């Protein structure tokens, strides 16, 4: 059963939890979740795909849970998405209705409200593990967002593998303040909690004070969240009583990692994944946690690195290759896009991630970045932008940085660093040259007021590289 902790027989057997979910000022017991979500299921059973405006509210929790109970695929829609992108998501997904909250422009779809106090105890048969649970849309950095088909089996496999890697149990209280339309916040945070049976607390905004007040044992955050926690001594000290701090969705700067260790006593767990693959790599609760490295393959996962010709790349911790993964948590393809699916998902079951990485002799993985923008070919060398960014972020005069390769008639590509901060360009170039090989130093550092970002907060390197 995908939502194992919500099995009605478990709740009926006296294993209820009064505060299974706390979100947006509401507290739901496990029986509240079962009864209210089943009431939602009765209203939308057989409806085909439905759109859920994924705000961090109890209505969103019940809407998504009700769909999973009824076997209706959910299309999570970001609350702050632009009108054109929202229209594309609704049209491409074929969503038949809005469930729960509705945006100001519903695009002509009917609205099915979620009644927080409604209850039903109807028993639904468990849908097939191969049935689609979610259609999650990519951020659209290389074109219109693509609908990623994620099965119930993939979610269950991923959560179970993470539970083994992190010793995640029903005794945990999981805390985060992340969006409920991403893998990190929705699948790992909410659905993971409903499968494992732990208490789940959503803080709303992921502020250091809110994290400290939640008194959890397991915390999820993106690097920006952890940077703010590391900058708030009182909040960081409060998190020292936690069991595990998990960082993902982007590389955690080494200075932030080190400061969290100093203040909380915890070396953060870092992990790697994508909408298409869910989480496939992680450092382990009882293993090495090396700053800048995302760990080992989870149970059931295999990885490989290839060069431009498809040949295997050595696992020496230095040689960069294209990362491919295989495992039970992979997606089933892109909705309505067999061409795009074939480009990244081979008939042999290997997913071409589009990321480049290195693997050392112990199997530890370090993500260099996206092949399209983070792999720089300069003077005959293959250089990872992420490695240079990590070194620059360790300089006190650097607040934010993006490293790109720009066309160069002599080198092929020239390494250029765009920096937000107070450091001088020559000082920063010399800093990299002291830490890394000479060919990895930026040929140019440009001090800027801000880095261009998309609606999801990701740096748009293509704009910088032109």
Q: Which residues pair with 135 in a beta bridge?
A: 149
Q: Give residue 14's pLDDT.
A: 55
pLDDT digits (tens, 9 = 90+) for 167-179: 999 999 999 999 9
Tell the CATH superfamily of the 379-465 domain: ANL, C-terminal domain (3.30.300.30)
Separation of CA 278 from chain center:
8
| pLDDT at residue 162 is higher than 70 | yes
> Are the beta carbons of 358 and 290 closer than 8 angstroms?
no
Q: How far is CA 104 from CA 81, 164, 382, in A?
A: 12, 42, 48
Residues 6 or more apart whose Cβ sits within 8 Å of residue 196: 4, 5, 159, 163, 168, 169, 170, 172
Q: Give residue 142's pLDDT.
A: 57
pLDDT digits (tens, 9 = 90+) for 51-86: 999 999 999 999 999 999 999 999 999 988 888 889
Q: Give residue 459's pLDDT.
A: 81
In the chain, CATH 3.40.50.12780 covers 4-190
In the chain, CATH 3.30.300.30 covers 379-465
pLDDT digits (tens, 9 = 90+) for 281-310: 999 999 999 998 999 999 999 999 999 888
pLDDT digits (tens, 9 = 90+) for 215-274: 999 999 998 899 999 999 999 999 999 999 999 988 888 889 999 999 999 999 999 999
pLDDT digits (tens, 9 = 90+) for 181-190: 999 999 999 9
Q: How confident is the model at residue 378 (pLDDT cuts 50, 70, 90)?
A: confident
> Are the beta carbons of 133 and 71 closer than 8 angstroms?
no
| pLDDT at residue 159 is higher than 70 | yes
Average pLDDT over residues 145-170: 97
Instruction: Give dist(CA 285, CA 244) in Å, integer.
Output: 8
Averaged pLDDT score across all residues of the chain: 91
Sheet holding 296-297, edge to edge: 26-28, 21-23, 199-202, 173-176, 218-221, 244-247, 269-274, 278-282, 296-297
Q: Give residue 250's pLDDT.
A: 80
Identify each DSSP E strand in 255-320 by its residue range. 269-274, 278-282, 296-297, 302-306
Nearest to 253 by CA among 139, 399, 362: 399
Q: How confident is the model at residue 144 (pLDDT cuts 50, 70, 90)?
A: confident
pLDDT digits (tens, 9 = 90+) for 196-205: 999 999 999 9
Instruction: Give dist(CA 15, CA 106) in Å, integer.
Output: 40
> Percentage helix, strand, coil, to 5, in the chain?
30, 25, 40
Q: Give residue 179's pLDDT.
A: 93
Q: Which fold has domain 4-190?
A: Rossmann fold (3.40.50)
| pLDDT at residue 440 is higher than 70 | yes
Residues 6 or more apart whose Cβ sits within 8 Å of residue 52: 60, 63, 64, 67, 74, 75, 76, 77, 98, 99, 100
Instruction: Give dist(CA 460, CA 141) in Å, integer.
Output: 8
Q: How confident is the model at residue 380 (pLDDT cuts 50, 70, 90)?
A: confident
Average pLDDT over residues 336-355: 94
């Amino acid at each position: 059963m995908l939502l194992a902790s919500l099995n009605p027989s478990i709740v009926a057997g006296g294993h209820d939890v009064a505060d299974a979910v706390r979100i947006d000022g509401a507290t739901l017991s496990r029986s509240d979740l079962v009864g209210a979500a089943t009431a939602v299921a009765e209203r939308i059973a057989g409806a085909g795909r439905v759109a859920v405006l994924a705000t961090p509210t109890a209505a969103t929790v019940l809407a998504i849970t009700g769909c999973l109970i009824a076997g209706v695929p959910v299309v999570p829609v970001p609350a702050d998405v632009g009108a054109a992108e929202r229209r594309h998501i609704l049209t491409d997904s074929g969503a038949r209705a809005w469930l729960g909250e509705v945006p100001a422009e519903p695009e002509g779809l009917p609205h099915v409200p979620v009644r927080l106090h409604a209850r039903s105890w109807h028993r639904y048969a468990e849908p097939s593990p191969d049935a689609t649970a979610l259609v999650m849309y990519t951020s659209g950095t290389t074109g219109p967002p693509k609908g990623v088909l994620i099965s119930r089996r993939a979610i269950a496999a991923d959560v179970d593998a993470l539970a083994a890697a992190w010793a995640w149990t029903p005794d945990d209280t999981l805390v985060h303040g992340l969006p409920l339309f991403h893998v990190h916040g929705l699948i790992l945070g909410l659905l993971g909690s409903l499968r494992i049976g732990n208490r789940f607390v959503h803080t709303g905004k992921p502020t250091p004070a809110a994290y400290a007040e939640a008194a959890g044992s397991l915390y999820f955050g993106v690097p920006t969240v952890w940077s703010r926690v590391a900058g708030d001594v009182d909040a960081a000290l409060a998190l020292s009583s936690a069991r595990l701090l998990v960082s993902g969705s982007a590389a955690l700067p080494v200075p932030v990692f080190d400061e969290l260790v100093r203040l909380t006593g915890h070396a953060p767990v870092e992990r790697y994944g994508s909408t298409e693959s869910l989480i496939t790599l992680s450092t382990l609760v009882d293993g090495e946690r090396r700053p800048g490295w995302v760990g080992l393959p989870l149970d059931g996962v295999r990885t490989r690195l290839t060069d431009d010709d498809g040949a295997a790349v050595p696992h020496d911790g230095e040689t960069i290759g294209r990362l491919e993964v295989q495992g039970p948590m992979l997606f089933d393809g892109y909705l309505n896009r067999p061409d795009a699916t074939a480009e990244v998902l081979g008939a042999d079951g290997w997913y071409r991630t589009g990321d480049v990485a290195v693997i050392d002799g112990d199997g530890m993985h370090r993500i260099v970045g996206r092949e399209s923008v983070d792999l720089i070919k300069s003077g005959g060398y293959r250089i990872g932008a992420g490695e240079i960014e990590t070194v620059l972020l360790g300089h006190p005069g650097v607040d934010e940085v993006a490293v790109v390769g720009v066309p160069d008639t002599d080198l092929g590509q020239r390494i250029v660093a765009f920096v937000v901060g107070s450091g001088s360009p020559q000082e920063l170039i010399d800093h990299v040259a002291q830490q890394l090989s000479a060919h990895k130093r930026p040929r140019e550092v440009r001090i800027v007021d801000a880095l261009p970002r998309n609606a999801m907060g990701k740096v748009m390197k293509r704009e910088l590289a032109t």
